[in-house]
Amino acid sequence: MTDWVQVRENGFAVPEGPPVRELVAELVGMLRSPDPGVRDRQAYSTLATWIDRGVLSEPELRALGDELVPRFADPEIQARTFVPLILDSIVTAGVFEPGWVPPFERWYVGERDLRGYDEKLGWLHAVAHGADLLGALGQHPAVEPVQMLRLGIGRLLTPTPYVFRDMEDDRLGYALAATLTRDDLTGNDVTDWLDPALRVLANPPAEGITPEVTNVVRTLRVLYVFADHGLRIGSAKKLTPIPRREQLKARLADVLRIFTPYWL
């Protein structure tokens, strides 16, 4: 068994001895651990760092993605929610498989456990972790950006008892904004994905404001800020503007005024 605490203390240098594939297999097993120290601080941190540094080859990254995707259906919440984080790293590193997208989409809108932090399990963060992958896919040329925009609004509108409290709205708002920087989006593409939110907010349930409505409003406010000011993509120092930002802002204002007529 590798001393992963020591690996972390050594700046995530690849330990000598075992082949990288064996080390990765060990980390993949640890990635579903209920112990957040093992899962997050050791397995995830090491894998993400190695992927970013180019330690894994393209075939190894593709194999890693293929191995992790079935975990979207895992019975353990922590196993499910750490898959999108690693896939985000893989896609950002330039490796992509179209077959990874449908399982992610099904999981993202269907996940019921939206807790951000659990005292025993640590960070779970399904919405935020999924948003990171959504943003990476939304910027990938092989993925239709509208597909990711619709996925984001679908996640927001799915009924839930959970009101975002751990910056999920910021993470998803950023992912939507990153997707909207695609220059192949038409004017209708930039606005039409918001139509489901407009319909839902225009017909509020009799019992009052539901958690998903609150989540929609908060996330779209975040998106409005990005549309107004631009956003930093990756490690870029300059802000990237959303190409059709005035059209987007006008539509966002239409949606947000339904519940907050004094806003904008």
Residue 151 pLDDT > 80, yes or no? Answer: yes
Residue 152: what pLDDT? 98
Token reading at 232: 């930093």
Q: pLDDT per residue over 117-129, tens digit each?
A: 999 999 999 999 9
Predicted pLDDT of residue 34:
98
pLDDT band at 195; cut points 50, 70, 90 = very high
**Long-range pairs for 210-213 at CB < 8 Å and ≥24 separation?**
210/159, 211/160, 211/161, 211/162, 211/163, 212/156, 212/157, 212/158, 212/159, 212/160, 213/259
CB-based burial, 14-40: b 16+ in 10 Å, e otherwise: eeeeeeeeebbebbbebbbbeebebbb
Average pLDDT of the chain is: 96
> Count of H helices and E strands in the chain?
15, 2
The pLDDT value recorded for residue 217 is 95
Q: Are 44 and 12 in contact (CB under 8 A)?
A: no
The backbone torsions φ and ψ at residue 118, rounded to the nearest 5 degrees and listed phi first, read: -120, 135
Is this model's pTM higher than 0.85 or not? yes
Residue 263 clears pLDDT 80, i.e. is over it: no
C-alpha closest to that of 114 among 137, 131, 136: 131
Residue 219 has pLDDT above 90, yes or no: yes
Confidence of residue 206 (pLDDT cuts 50, 70, 90): confident
